[in-house]
């Protein structure tokens, strides 16, 4: 019954013999910073969104390094060779699509989403991959029979807004690859 995100006290209640092992945050931060430094070698437009995630705008870099999929592969190679870490990358037209692509690419992969085939890519994926859809919203959508992004795309915008407020409009937009 112990799960990620659970409080230590609750986990200990469920599993009294549980042993806790400390992390190495400083080392994790150091390695993540080294990865970010590799990104900056390809573009100055790096938007770090967490300790180990970032968006890169490589629009101005393609004339130097090649198309986005080539840049992504070069980044993956450098990070593995220089830092010894795997990297999952999603390359796409928008941040949201890139985020979904990187989730689909895990572990240690590369997914390039063709702008002409975004809907085809998104349709079969679980709705939980949409930014902002946590377990509660995912459960509410599942109760209405919405389990895939394609099913969410088929929903009426006004219906989504009526049921989920401003989040409904965001779901409508994101399910269509609009960010």
Q: Which residues are catalytic?
A: 53
Q: Rounded to an integer, what distance in angstroms lies between the CA atom of residue 38 and that of residue 35?
A: 5
Q: Quick one: three-class SS letters along the chain?
A: CCCCCCCHHHHHHHCCCCCCCCCCHHHHHHHHHHHHHHHHCCCCCEEEEECCEEEECCHHHHHHHCCHHHHHHHHHHHHHHHHCCCCCEEECCCHHHHHHHHHHHCCCCEEECCHHHHHHHHCCCEHHHCCCCCHHHHHHHHHCCCCEHHHHHCCCHHHHHHHHCHHHHHHHHHCCCCC
Q: What are the Cα distances from residue 44, in Å, to 5, 17, 59, 124?
A: 34, 49, 11, 34
- Nearest alpha carbon to residue 70 among 55, 58, 54: 58
């Amino acid at each position: 019954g112990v799960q990620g995100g659970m409080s230590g006290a609750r986990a200990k209640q469920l599993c009294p013999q549980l042993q806790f092992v400390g992390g190495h945050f400083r080392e994790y931060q150091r390695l993540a910073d080294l990865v970010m430094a590799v990104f900056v070698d390809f573009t100055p437009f790096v938007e770090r969104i967490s300790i180990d995630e970032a968006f890169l705008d490589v629009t101005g870099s393609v004339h130097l390094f090649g198309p986005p999929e080539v840049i992504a592969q070069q980044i993956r190679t450098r990070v593995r060779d220089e830092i010894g870490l795997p990297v999952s990358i999603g390359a796409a037209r928008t941040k949201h699509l890139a985020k979904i692509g990187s989730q689909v690419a895990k572990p240690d992969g590369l997914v390039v989403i063709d702008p002409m085939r975004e809907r085809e890519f998104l349709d079969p994926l679980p709705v939980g991959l949409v930014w902002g859809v946590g377990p509660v919203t995912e459960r509410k959508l599942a109760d209405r029979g919405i389990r895939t992004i394609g099913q969410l795309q088929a929903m009426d915008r006004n219906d989504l807004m009526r049921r989920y407020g401003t989040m409904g409009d965001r779901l409508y937009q994101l399910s269509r690859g609009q960010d």
